[in-house]
Structure 1
Amino acid sequence: MDWLAPAAGVAIILFLLRDIFHTLGHPEGQGSLSRFVLSTIWRMSRLRVGRLARLTGPVALLSVIIVWGTLAVMGWALLYWPFVPTGFVYASGSSAGSSNHALDALYISMTTISTLGFGDIVPAPGWLRIITPLEALFGFALLTVTVSWVLQIYPALARRRALAIRLSLLCRTELHTRLGDANSVLLPGVLDLLSTNIIQARVDLSEYSETYYFRDDDPNTSLAATLPYAAELARIGATSSQSDMRLAANLLNCALEDFTGILKTRFPHCDANVSELLSAFAADHGNRPKS
Structure 2
Amino acid sequence: MEWLVSLLGGGLVMFGLRDLFHTLWHPTRHGGLSRLVMTALWRLTRRFRAGRRVVGLVGPLSMVTVVAMWAGTVIIGWAVVYWPHMPESFAFSPGSEAAQEPALLDSLYLSLVTVATLGLGDIAPGEAWLRLISPLEALVGFALLTATVSWVLEIYPALTRRRVLAIRLALLRDSDPTTAQLDSTAGALLLDSLATEVVRVRIDFTQYAEAYYFHDGEDHSSLAAMVGYAAALAERGQAARRPEVRLAGDLLTGALADLAAILDQRFLHTGGPPAEVFAAYATDHGRDRVQP
TM-score tier (shorter): over 0.9
> Does 2:11 match 1:18?
no
Letter in 1 for 2:291: K
Aligned CA distance change for structure 1 residues 181 and 126 (closer, same or farther; 3 Å): closer
Letter in 2 for 1:227: V
Letter in 1 for 2:151: W
**In structure 2, what is the equivalent of residue 137 of structure 1?**
139
Q: Which moved more, 1:87-96 or 1:249-258?
A: 87-96
- Deviations 1:128-153 (CA, angstroms, capped at 9, x unpaired): 10111000010001101110111111
Aligned CA distance change for structure 1 residues 188 and 94 (closer, same or farther; 3 Å): same
Letter in 2 for 1:283: T
**In structure 1, what is the equivalent of residue 45 of structure 2?**
45
Q: Residues of 2 paired with 1:100 and 1:125: CA distance? A: 20
> SS of 1:220's equivalent?
helix
4+ residue runs of structure 1 moved beyond 4 angstroms? 180-183
Q: Is the 8 A contact 2:169 2:229 kept in 1?
A: yes
Q: How does 1:69-218 map to 2 (within 5 A)?
A: 69-175=71-177, 178-179=178-179, 184-218=184-218
Aligned CA distance change for structure 1 residues 183 and 276 (closer, same or farther; 3 Å): closer
Q: CA deviation at 1:125?
A: 3.5
Q: CA deviation at 1:182?
A: 7.9
Q: Is the 8 A contact 1:182 1:241 kept in 2?
A: no
- Percent of aligned positions that are identical: 45
Q: Is the 8 A contact 2:182 2:237 kept in 1?
A: no
Unaligned runs of 5+ in 2: none
Q: Is the 8 A contact 2:76 2:108 kept in 1?
A: yes
**In structure 2, what is the equivalent of residue 260 of structure 1?**
260
**In structure 1, what is the equivalent of residue 69 of structure 2?**
67
Q: Residues of 2 paired with 1:141 and 1:184: CA distance? A: 53
Q: Residues of 1 paired with 2:182 and 2:274: CA distance? A: 27
Q: Residues of 2 paired with 1:124 and 1:182: CA distance? A: 76
**In structure 1, what is the equivalent of residue 274 of structure 2?**
274
Aligned CA distance change for structure 1 residues 16 and 197 (closer, same or farther; 3 Å): same
Q: Residues of 1 paired with 2:172 and 2:103: CA distance? A: 65
Q: Is the 8 A contact 2:166 2:223 kept in 1?
A: yes
Q: Residues of 2 paired with 1:195 and 1:73: CA distance? A: 46
Relative to total residues, which structure has the larger helix share, 1 or 2?
2
Q: CA deviation at 1:19?
A: 1.1
Q: Residues of 1 paired with 2:274 and 2:211: CA distance? A: 20
Q: CA deviation at 1:161?
A: 0.7
Q: Residues of 1 paired with 2:275 and 2:183: CA distance? A: 29
> SS of 1:122's equivalent?
strand
Letter in 1 for 2:211: T
TM-score normalised to structure 1 length: 0.95
Equivalenced residues, count:
289
